[in-house]
Amino acid sequence: MSRTGKIKNRLIEPESLYDNKLLAKFINNVMKNGKKSTAQKLVYDAFKRIETQKLKPLEIFQAAIQNVSPRMEVKSRRVGGASYQVPTEVRGERRISLAIRWIIAAAHARSSKQYHTFGEKLAAELIDSNNNAGEAIRKRDLMHRNAEANKAFSHFRW
């Protein structure tokens, strides 16, 4: 059996309530230990909290993912004896997965004193990300600054 060949991408079914593939990916990333129904409850709870603020949750969610998605990142490239941080463009699928990961991590990191449930934290992070604020946006800006600072090494791109 050969180890070479292209890996087929798995097809993700659109999420049932909002009929959205991006939301299905998000729920899969929120999921822990295979408990998808629990992850769905958490995300839907966040969406209900967004709705209570007279906002459209799906639009807020998609705008938040779009805002958090990084355009540039740095990758280590070894040339001679030295390692250089080479700025590269982030491809589409990785861009989305990074944005999803950062939003979830930022929601988890929010203070327990102000927010009591993960749904509250996630709703607040999605709204902040939609408004170009919050921890996930800070992470994106940090990555862009790092890529900008290492622009001198862009000729090492492979």
What's residue 77's pLDDT?
Answer: 83
Q: Is the pLDDT of residue 4 over 90?
A: no
Dihedral of CA atoms 139, 23, 21, 103 in degrees, nearest 10, equals 10
Bridge-based pairing state of the strands 82-89 and 72-79: antiparallel
27-56 pLDDT per residue, tens: 999 999 999 999 999 999 999 999 999 999
How far is CA 157 from each of CA 65, 80, 152, rounded to the nearest angstrom?
27, 14, 11
Fold annotation for 21-73+90-134: Ribosomal Protein S7 (1.10.455)
pTM of the model: 0.88
Rounded CA separation 125/135 (Å): 8
What's residue 118's pLDDT?
Answer: 93
Question: Residue ranges per domain, the chain?
Answer: 21-73+90-134
55-92 pLDDT per residue, tens: 999 999 999 999 999 999 988 888 888 888 888 899 98
What is the distance between the terminal CA atoms of the chain, rounded to a whole angstrom? Answer: 31
